[in-house]
Amino acid sequence: MNHLISPSLLAADFGNLERDITMLNQSEADWFHLDIMDGVFVPNISFGFPVMKYIKKHAQKPLDVHLMITDPDRYIDNFHESGADILTIHLETCHHLHRTVQRIKSLGMKAGVSLNPHTPVNLLKDIIADVDLVLLMSVNPGFGGQKFIPNALEKVKELKQLITEKKSNALIEVDGGVDYSNAKALIEAGCDVLVAGSYVFKSKNPKETIKGLKKLTF
């Protein structure tokens, strides 16, 4: 399949949020990426259910929701009710990962699992066949605008091999410092979904920036 683009609304202008949502609706972006932070698992707080419901009301594309929170099981129903189409939880925060993944899927959402930069890919070997998506963090989670960690490329390759070996249908998503300088290499390594925040929203023409990322081939 062709790779997907999921711009991160964490980098949007929250004083003009409807304008930025409309821009994404009109762009070649495939998903809306929402980073939910609790100030505990990561050293930052982003936004919660009221803002998410507002985004869902205006978005014309799936909501790709990334939970950077402790104890995500407590809120799975809430995120479903708030409009999540894809719900990604961190391996590092789940004590019963298989059960959590199955709960997400039982509500009709796609289930994703995310790994921090230091977390090895092989920890996914017993769950990879059950998930719809794996989100590899290519920066330390919590803040936008960080520099890409080059080792993420090797993790994408390793994950792609694991997906092939286990005959999984999971997509590979990469988030953190993604821009034109590394996007092509990520796609070549096996990435299916590129998350880009600051690179899109801080550019002079976000729609053209998205178009450029979308047209990358190898």
Residue 48 has pLDDT above 60, yes or no: yes
CB-based contacts of 162: which residues, under 8 Å, 6+ apart? 121, 122, 124, 125, 128, 168
Residue 218 has pLDDT above 60, yes or no: no
Residue 143 has pLDDT above 70, yes or no: no
**From 30, 64, 175, 192, the catalytic residue:** 175
Task: Tell me the C-alpha distance between 67 and 87, whole Å.
Answer: 7
- Domain count for the chain, please give it: 1
The pLDDT score that the predictor gives to residue 1 is: 65
Annotated catalytic residue 30:
no
Q: Please report, as a single letter, which amino acid is at residue 27.
A: S
**From 35, 38, 132, 192, the catalytic residue:** 35
Per-residue pLDDT band for 141 (boundaries 50, 70, 90) equals confident
Residue 43 has pLDDT above 70, yes or no: yes
Range of the domain at 104: 4-214
| Range of weakest confidence among 34-48, 107-121, 140-154, 201-215 | 140-154
Average pLDDT value for residue range 74-81 = 97
Beta bridge partners of 195: 6, 175
Look over the chain and give the mean of its residue pLDDT values, rounded to a whole number.
94
CATH number at residue 96: 3.20.20.70
**140 exposure class (CB count in 10 Å sphere: 0-12, 13-18, 19+):** middle
DSSP three-state, residue 182: helix
Task: Tell me the C-alpha distance between 33 and 48, whole Å.
Answer: 14
Annotated catalytic residue 35:
yes
The pLDDT score that the predictor gives to residue 216 is: 81
Chain segment 104-114, per-residue pLDDT in tens: 999 999 999 99
Whether this prediction's pTM lies above 0.85 is answered by yes
| 128 contacts 170 by C-beta, under 8 angstroms | yes
Six-digit token pair at 156?
């994408």
Provide, rounded to the nearest whole percent, the portion of the chain with pLDDT above 90. Answer: 89
